[in-house]
C-alpha cells in the first residue's frame, strides 16, 4: 500500500500523540473517516417554462419539433 505524503504525516502525528503503533493509527483514522457522515444533497431538477408543450411519446416527432426537420 502506498500512502500519500499528507496521509503518512497524519498517521505519524497520530502515532506520536497517542503512542500507538502503525496498524492502530491507520485503523483509528479509517474508523474516524467511516463514522463521518457525508453531506448528501438531494438532486433537484430545475425547470423553466419555455412556452412549448411537447409530447415525448413519439421521440422522432419531439426532436423534429425541438430541432427542426433537418436534425434527423
Residue 51: pLDDT band with limits 50, 70, 90 = confident
The number of folded domains in the chain is: 1
pLDDT at position 7: 92
- Residue 19: give the domain boundaries: 5-35
Whether 17 is covered by a domain: the verdict is yes
pLDDT at position 15: 95
Whether 14 is covered by a domain: the verdict is yes
Whether 11 is covered by a domain: the verdict is yes
* pTM across the whole model: 0.47
Whether 70 is covered by a domain: the verdict is no
pLDDT at position 40: 64
Whether 51 is covered by a domain: the verdict is no
Whether 19 is covered by a domain: the verdict is yes
Whether 22 is covered by a domain: the verdict is yes
Please report which residue ranges of the chain form alpha helices under DSSP H: 5-18, 22-35, 59-67
Q: Do residues 16 and 23 touch, judged by C-beta distance below 8 A? A: no
pLDDT at position 60: 87
Cell readout for 56 is: 415525448
- Quote the CA–CA distance of 16 and 36 in Å, as a whole number: 23
Amino acid at each position: 500500500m502506498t500512502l500519500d505524503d499528507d496521509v503518512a504525516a497524519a498517521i505519524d502525528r497520530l502515532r506520536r500523540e497517542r503512542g500507538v503503533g502503525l496498524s492502530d493509527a491507520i485503523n483509528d483514522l479509517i474508523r474516524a473517516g467511516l463514522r463521518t457522515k457525508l453531506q448528501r444533497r438531494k438532486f433537484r431538477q430545475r425547470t423553466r417554462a419555455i412556452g412549448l408543450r411537447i409530447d415525448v411519446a413519439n421521440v422522432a416527432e419531439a426532436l423534429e419539433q425541438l430541432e427542426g426537420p433537418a436534425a434527423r
